[in-house]
Structure 1
Amino acid sequence: MKSFYKNITFLSLIFIALSLTQCNEVTKSCCEEILDFSYTNNDSLIEFNISEAQKCAKKYHKRPEFLQKISQIYYFDATNDYTSEQLISASKKLFLALDYINSYFSKIDIVKSYDYQYRGDIYERLGDIYKDINSLKSSAELYDKALSDYEAANDEEKILNILLKIGKLYQYNHIPNIAMIYFEMAEEQENIPNNIYRKIIDNKIITLYELNDYKSADSIFKNHFNIKNQDYDFHSAIGTKYFYERNYSMALPHLKYCFENGNMQEKLVFSEKLAETYFNLNDQKNEMLYIQYQAKNNSIEIRKTPIKLDLEKLYDTSYTIINYNYDKSDNKNNSLIIIILLTIILSIITIVVLYVIKSNNQYKEKIRNAEETISGNNDIIQSKDKIINDISQKLVSLETNESFDEAYQRFFDSAIHNKIKSSFEGINILTKNVQSYNKLALSTTEIQLLIKTFNKCFPKAISSIKKEFEITPSDIKFIILNFMNLNNVEIAVLLGLTYGAVNKRSNKIKNIFNTKDDLNIFLIDYIKSNF
């Protein structure tokens, strides 16, 4: 009789092994489909790959190459989806692509330049979407993240393009002082192609006129403009020049050219200038045409409000919840087989368990004794847990009573602070030879450790600054390094940037804080008052 039940148990184990093998083959085939993905795939194959990705077992998410490929699939699908009617769908896919590539980063030892460039592309596409719905803060933060990744990838072309894009974003939102910072940062880059340099100069001229700095704008206009190259940027700059000089008849043809050839955002900007131009020329008929255009555009923007609210909510949550559910419709036959096998196995196991319980009454007492022992041990464990929780609460209470000076000293005694400070001992770095000390640049891990250490010592500092000022994530590392009383040369070395770029960023942060004081002094006073 006992041998009979042993045989039944053995058969049940065989059934379990067969079912698990079949499930494993399904997930293996899914993973292989993902790893074979190429950007040349057509739309139907893209949808198939997304369907396969949802079926893959979570164990494959530990493989970096899988995470990288599935990120590319979602990114490629999102860029195909990019229309005004599908902004939410495209954004969700881009956030999924971002989640997967961030997981990929966390599982590899060395992040290559093309990996940074790819993640920068995701940030830039997301920034484009939030720019299209006139969400200045969200798009500026996403573009700034893209800029950081392009700088890490040392991609000169993309750095130039994103600096221009950020500058124009602030320009169209009537914040010319911030726009000028980004145009000047672009101008300081090396190996600038002629066509890009021309765009930088054109936008600087427009921004200077908007800042009422007519003298500087006229000087640049005379030195750099070539009337033979009458492209969109030429008409934009010269039209703006005549407009601010109140020479409306000369400005009119150039403003009309920009309105007729610009994108939706540019059309709105130039419709405002054209309405004012026709008003000053006493042409009420044409003035009303452009006023009506602005009213129509405002009506369109109002109708977009639900989409904008959904996208803003999506940005706040960062869409970190990823669905890995299987698509059962594609595997009806496999599911039916698995259900039948599991039913048989459970039936056999139930029979075996009942037999064992019936034939082993002598062990019941031992089981009861074991349960009593376990119960006693649980009481001991709970008692220890209570003691540990009490100690933890006391430690938290002690930390909250820490003074600013104590936290300040704890930060300056930290390992990462001492490492940074000691790296400059006995070294005299000039602004011209900053690039010669690239070995002193902080790694991504060290920057993250510095931010973590700062937040641990001053837990309210960054949240207070974000709440009161419009700062971007990449501004945080500049703020912390200035708090450490490092000069712009040392910061440039640590971040692997040019002295000019760091100087511009420091000026930008001063403008945001609205202070002319030394940043170190301002930050110490501010953080101390909000400690």
Structure 2
Amino acid sequence: MKRIFKNIIILSLIITAFNLLSCSDVSKSCCEEILNFSYTESDSIVNYNIDLAERCSEKYHKRPEFLQKISQIYYYDAINNYTSNEQSTVDLLQLTKKLYLALEYMNSYMSRIDVIKSYDYQFRGEIYERLGDIYNDINSLKPAAELYDKALSDYKSADSNEKYLNSLIKIGKLYQYNHIPNIAMIYFEMAEENKDIPHNIYRKIIDNKIVTLYELNDYKNADSIFKNHFNVKVQNHDYHSAVGTKYFYERNYKEALPHLKYCFENGNMQEKLIVSEKLAETYFNLDDHDNEMIYIQYQAKYNSIEIRRTPLKLDLEKLFDTYYTIVINDKTVDNNNNIATIVIILIISLIIISLITITFSKSKKKDQEKISTAQKTISANNEIIESKDKIINDISKKLTDIETNENYEEAYKRFVECDIITKIRSSFDGITIMTKNVQNHSKLQLSSKDTIALIKTFNNCFPKAIASMKNDFEGITPNDIKFIILNFINLNNAEIAVLLGLTYGAANKRSNKIKNIFNIKDDLNQFICSYIKSKF
């Protein structure tokens, strides 16, 4: 009987070891295939078992090139599916999650390398832009604006001029389609300020400026710019949109009609909806009620589609709001699973050792003592694990109590006397920043590390401020937050332009944009100080 039992134990150990070795071999093979994968060779991206590689190859996760490759695989898989056919609700959710995974792996890759190359910034910018496109397609303004703004920042870091300009135009159109022309104009003017603008992109900027100026009822400036657009060789969608809008607002409906029809026939869903409103009004004024009804019915059909897409829109917006929480939770679950696996292996090992000891040991008393010791160790470990949450909660409560006891004046003093603010102010010692020589002081521009330290310190001193701004004022972007914090410490626009790497004109436009968001005309610094104090 003892011999049979011994043979069973030995056989179980052999099977377990064989399975572990097989898993390691499969994982290693899979990871090496991922590292050697080339997109020019095959489109069969889904054939690679990424899940297996993630679970079994921690040593590969320490290699930046592996993280970069998985990010690329998720990205191109999502893009291929997104551009191939119209997506069902489930498919769109899945490919959005793939893009978020691509973003997470890319961020992890960039945090592990010493020097971030232009290509890395550009690739991450493309991930942000594709995510922004998805939220733009479902007409979700806030997520689309924030994602586009992050793409804009990465394209600027990559020194990719065309992508940077096209992103400015895309953000401007986003606000234009959502009937916020004053903010749309800010982005078009930011694009126009750049140097060495390719002709085709410059045309897009001007065409969209004309449309936006008419929407703002600034007919004088719109007509002045419009005169330069006659007899042009390339008459694309943006051109017809500008011409059609001009004639529409001049109530010259016969001239406007062919241009508006061109825009409707060649535009995307959002562009068709905007133009259909103008076409319906145009046909009404031309007493063509049959065609007027066609475009009214189109608007009704689009609204019906929007209503049916509401659950999808809510799911995607929830995914955007909880993205970082999801990533953290997933990592926690994975860690818990790893801990559980280790605990199970330890328990199995202890059981096997205990059984062998019971079977072959002559001293039952010693066996009992070993079992008792093992059980006490496991029990103590379990108690430690169970008390973890309680300890964390107690620490969090104490930290909260400490923060609560601090008043606004003390928090403000702590903020303005912190290391990063002291460093910023000292960098201007002995230097006078003139509006015309802003770009001569580019060496004073904040590094990514300093920017992160600035925002982190501000959050520590005023934990409710940024969240309150995002809730109270729609359209605030991360770049706006940086500008607001620097304005809060009473820096002028020229100094802020130097620190953020902007031109003086761009800094002024950013200031005006933020004033428009806050709906104020008075001193921006005074409003920001009052607002932060009220939310303390």
State the TM-score, normalizing by the size of structure 1. 0.86
User: Paired residue for 1:70?
Assistant: 70
Query: By how many angstroms is 1:437 displaced?
Result: 2.2
The Cα of 1:371 is off from its aligned counterpart by: 9.7
Deviation of the 1:405 alpha carbon: 0.6
Change (3 A) 1:10 1:163: same
2:166 alignment counterpart: 161
Assess, with a 3 A threshold, how the Cα gap between structure 1 residues 429 and 50 changes in structure 2: closer, same or farther: same
- 1:57 alignment partner in structure 2: 57
Q: State the distance in 2 between where 1:364 and 1:160 align.
A: 76
Whole-Å separation in 2 of the counterparts to 1:448 and 1:48: 36
Q: 8 Å contact 1:33–1:52 — kept in the other structure? A: no
User: Structure 1 residues 8 and 298, CA, compared in 2 at 3 Å: closer, same or farther?
Assistant: closer
AA at the equivalent of 1:147: L
Structure 1 residue aligned with 2:424? 420
* Secondary structure of the corresponding residue to residue 500 of structure 1: helix
**1:220 maps onto 2:225 in alignment:** yes
Residue 407 (structure 1) aligned with residue 434 (structure 2): no
Q: 2:318 aligns with which of 298, 313, 316?
A: 313
Question: Which digits, 9 at most, give the CA deviation of each residue in 1:296-320, with x for residues without a partner?
Answer: 2222222222222221222222152
Matched, 1:447 2:471: no
Letter in 1 for 2:87: S
CA deviation vs aligned residue, 1:390-439 (integer Å, no higher than 9, x gap): 89856643431211111000001101110111011111223333333222
The one of the two structures with greater contact order (alpha-carbon pairs below 8 A, sep at least 6) is 1
Map Cα deviations across residues 497-526 of structure 1 (whole Å, 9 max, x no partner): 222222221211111011122222211111
Q: In 2 relative to 1, CA 453–356 (structure 1 residues): closer, same or farther, beyond 3 Å?
A: farther
| Post-superposition offset of 1:25 | 2.3
Deviation at 1:51, TM superposition (A): 5.6
Q: Measured at CA, do residues 41 and 88 of structure 1 come closer, stay the same or move farther in structure 2, by a change above 3 Å?
A: farther
Once the two structures are TM-superposed, the CA of residue 259 in structure 1 deviates from its matched residue by 1.3
Task: Sort the Cα spacing of 1:362 and 1:53 in 2 relative to 1 into closer, same or farther, 3 A.
Answer: closer
TM-aligned CA distance change 1:76 to 1:494, over 3 Å: same
Where does structure 2 lack aligned partners over 5 or more consecutive residues?
1-5, 335-344
Q: Which position in structure 2 is the counterpart of 1:247?
A: 252
Q: Which residue of 2 aligns with 1:525?
A: 530
- Structure 1 equivalent of residue 134 of structure 2: 129
Partner residue in 1 for 2:207: 202
Q: Structure 1, residues 148-188: CA drift from partner, whole Å, max 9, x if none? A: 11112121111101100011111111111011000001101
Amino acid in structure 1 at the alignment position of 2:62: K
For 1:366 and 1:16, locate their aligned partners in 2 and report how far apart those are by CA, in whole Å.
25
Corresponding residue to 1:483 among 470, 485, 488: 488
Between the two proteins, the alignment pairs up a number of residues equal to 510
**Amino acid paired to 1:414:** C
Note the aligned Cα RMSD (angstroms): 3.7
Identity of aligned residues (%): 70
Aligned to 1:35: 35
Q: 1:364 to 1:520 in 2, by over 3 A?
A: same
Alpha carbons of structure 1 residues 325 and 40: separation in structure 2 relative to 1, 3 Å:
farther
SS at match of 1:43: coil
Candidates 87, 91, 104, aligned match of 1:84: 87
State how far apart, in whole Å, the 1-side matches of 2:271 and 2:314 are.
Answer: 23
The 10-residue stretch of structure 1 (511-520 or 357-366) with the greater mean CA deviation from structure 2: 357-366
2:338 aligns with none
Distance in 2 between residues matched to 1:227 and 1:372, nearest whole Å: 86
Q: Does 1:495 align with 2:500?
A: yes
Deviations 1:235-278 (A, max 9, x none): 11111001001111111111111112222211111111011011
Amino acid of the residue matched to residue 352 of structure 1? I
> Partner of 2:243 in structure 1?
238
Q: Distance in 1 between matches of 2:7 and 2:440?
A: 75
Distance 2:395 2:253 in 1: 76
Cα distance in 2 between the residues matched to 1:226 and 1:66: 53
Deviation string 1:336-381 (CA, Å, 9 cap, x unpaired) is xxxxx99x9999645433247653735867997999999999999x
Aligned 8 A contact 1:30 1:56 in 2: no
